[in-house]
Amino acid sequence: MGVVRESMKRDSQVTGNIGLYWTCYHLSRMGWNAMPTSRNARGVDIIAYNGDCTQMISLQVKTLSKRNPVPLGKFLDRLMGQFWVIVNNVVAAPQTYIMLPQEVKDLAHRGEKDGRVSYWLQPSSYCIEQFHEAWNRIGKPN
C-alpha cells in the first residue's frame, strides 16, 4: 500500500511541487533562506535571501517527470527570475539544470502550428554539462 510506483501518472501540480521543494532543499543546504511563492500566481517560483536580508535572488522552476522539452509559452520576453532551474526525471532520479534567463532565450526553439507560435527548450539544449547540477552558478549567500 505504501509503495509508490514510478510508472504512476502524477498530477502536474504534484510533479511541480517536487521540483519546487527539491530546489528549495538545495538552496537551503547552500545557506539561502528559500521560500516558494504563491502557486499558480504570475511571477517567480522561489525567493531566497541571506541571513540578514541584504542579498536576495529569484528563481523560476520548471519540473518535468522525464527528459522532455520545457514549455516556455508564447513569448520569450516574459521570462522571469534571475535563475532558471529545470528539474527532470523527478520520480526516479532528479536531474537539475541551472540556467540564466538569457541562456534560456538564446537556446529556445520556436515552434509554429496552425499559425500559433510557441517556444520550447529542447533537452539537447539544456541537458548539457555546463548546466547540469551547476548550483555554483547561483552560489552561496554572502
Q: What is the CATH number of the domain that holds 97?
A: 3.40.1350.10
Please write the tens of the pLDDT for every residue from 25-41.
999 999 999 999 987 77
In a domain, 30, yes or no: yes
Angle (nearest 5°) at CA 39 between 38 and 45: 75
| Tally of structural domains, the chain | 1
Please write the tens of the pLDDT for every residue from 48-57.
999 999 999 9
In a domain, 55, yes or no: yes
The range of the structural domain enclosing residue 49 comes to: 12-68+79-102+127-137
Judged against a pLDDT cut of 70, whether residue 1 lies above it is answered with no
Using alpha carbons, list the distances in angstroms from residue 108 to 31, 48, 70, 85, 124. 31, 26, 9, 15, 11
